[in-house]
Amino acid sequence: MTINVENVTKTYESGEVTIHALREATLKIPDHKIVTILGPSGSGKSTLLNVIGGIDRFDSGTLVVAGQQLEFLKDHQLTDFRRKYAGFIFQQYNLIPTLTVQENVEVGRELSENPLDMKSMLEKVGMYDKKDKFPYQLSGGEQQRVAIARALIKNPQFLLCDEPTGALDEVTGKKILRLLKYVNEEFGTTVLIITHNHGIGAMAHKIIKMSSGSIVESFDNESPVDPEKVTWA
């Protein structure tokens, strides 16, 4: 599957100011790769991730994901698109506090026609022993593992991670990165990671740099490093 972004533009109004969130962004993301989108706050990286994931609309341009031209999809079709192809991981994990670890993962499992096995998924993210715990009983890193399991269990084609390590310390953050790399290798899932931590770019197959809504640089990384060797900024 290829994600094909062509001249995608997105603006929005904030008071009397027009903000150009994306300016004719163009890029191609090959299947089964890890891609990092780097840039400072307000550079448009989250907007780019959101439009690719179908949770935000754009004003002009063409965006093809999994063979579907997103600008032509209605709201309910976008929902089905996300349900079928996308997995989301958020900086604040966004788990449901009243559900246990296993139940939170079950939330994702229910959406899929061919979900992965619950037990092995929990084992793979290292949360099987804590499957009956509630989110408030877990550390930040553990909560993020659950969020990853929730995203992965439905066997999505791509994983969209918005600052997945933003709220974590280096040790925990690296554990999460290792997990993402494992997911990519084990399931062939395309992983898009947004981060302002430039060091994380070193583990990606492709690095995209953004500034003021534009893609300023996009290049392939011939020798991605192990997450352990990522420089933590």
Partner 1 sequence: MILRKSILRTIKEKKFQYIGVVFLLVLAVTLYTSLSMAISTLDQRNRIFKNDYKQETFHFMTREPLKNSQLQELESEYDVTLEERRFQDLDIDQDAVLRLFNTSEEVNVPFVSQGVMPQGKNEIALAKVFAEQHGYEIGDSITLAGTKAEVTGYVYLPDYIYMIQQQSDLLSNPDQFGFGITSKETLVNIQGEEQIQVIGWSETNSVPEGMRASVNEKSTLLQFVGHEDNARIQFVENEIEGAQTTITTLPLFVLALSIAMVLLLMKRRLDLQRKEIGTLMAIGYRKNELIRHYLGYAWFVGLSGTVLGTLAGIGLSIPLSNLYAQFFNLPSLSLFDWDPMVLVLGVATPLGLLLVLTFIVIWRALKVDPLTLLRPKEMATGKKSWLEKLPVLNSGNFIKRFRLRLMVRSKWRSFYIFLGVMFSTVLLFFGLIMFNSMDRLVETTYEEIYTYDYAIHYKTLMTDTDETKDGISPYTSSEVEVTTENDTNKALIYGIEPGTEYLNLSSEGEKLNDRLSEGAVLSKPLAAILGVSEEDEITLTNSLNDEKRTIEVAGIADVFIGTSIYLPKSEVNEFLGFPGNAYTSIWQGQKPKMNENIFMIEDKQKVIESFESNSGATKSSVIGMAVFAVIIGVIVLTLLTNLIVEENSPSISLFKVMGYHDKEVSKLVLSVYTPVVMLSFFASIPLAVLSLEGTMNSLVKETGFLMPTEVSWWMVLIGFSVITLTYALSLTLSKQKLKKVSLQEALKKQQD
Which chain residues interact with partner 1 by CB under 8 A?
Answer: 50, 53, 55-56, 75-76, 79-80, 82-84, 86-88, 90, 92, 94, 96, 98-99, 103, 106-108, 110-111, 150-151, 154
Nearer to partner 1 among residue 106 and residue 123 (C-beta)? 106
Backbone angles phi, psi at 60, to 5 degrees: -150, 170
Nearer to partner 1 among residue 139 and residue 231 (C-beta)? 139
Buried b (16+ CB within 10 A) or exposed e, 160-190: bbbbbbbbbeeebbbbbbebbbebbeebebb
Who contacts 42 (Cβ-Cβ below 8 Å, separation ≥6)?
212
Nearer to partner 1 among residue 88 and residue 224 (C-beta)? 88
Query: To the nearest whole angstrom, how small is the minimum distance from the Cβ of residue 154 to partner 1?
Result: 8
- Order of strands across the sheet with 3-14? 17-29, 3-14, 60-65, 68-69
Query: To the nearest whole angstrom, how small is the minimum distance from the Cβ of residue 99 to partner 1?
Result: 5
Nearer to partner 1 among residue 132 and residue 217 (C-beta)? 132
Query: To the nearest whole angstrom, how small is the minimum distance from the Cβ of residue 15 to partner 1?
Result: 10
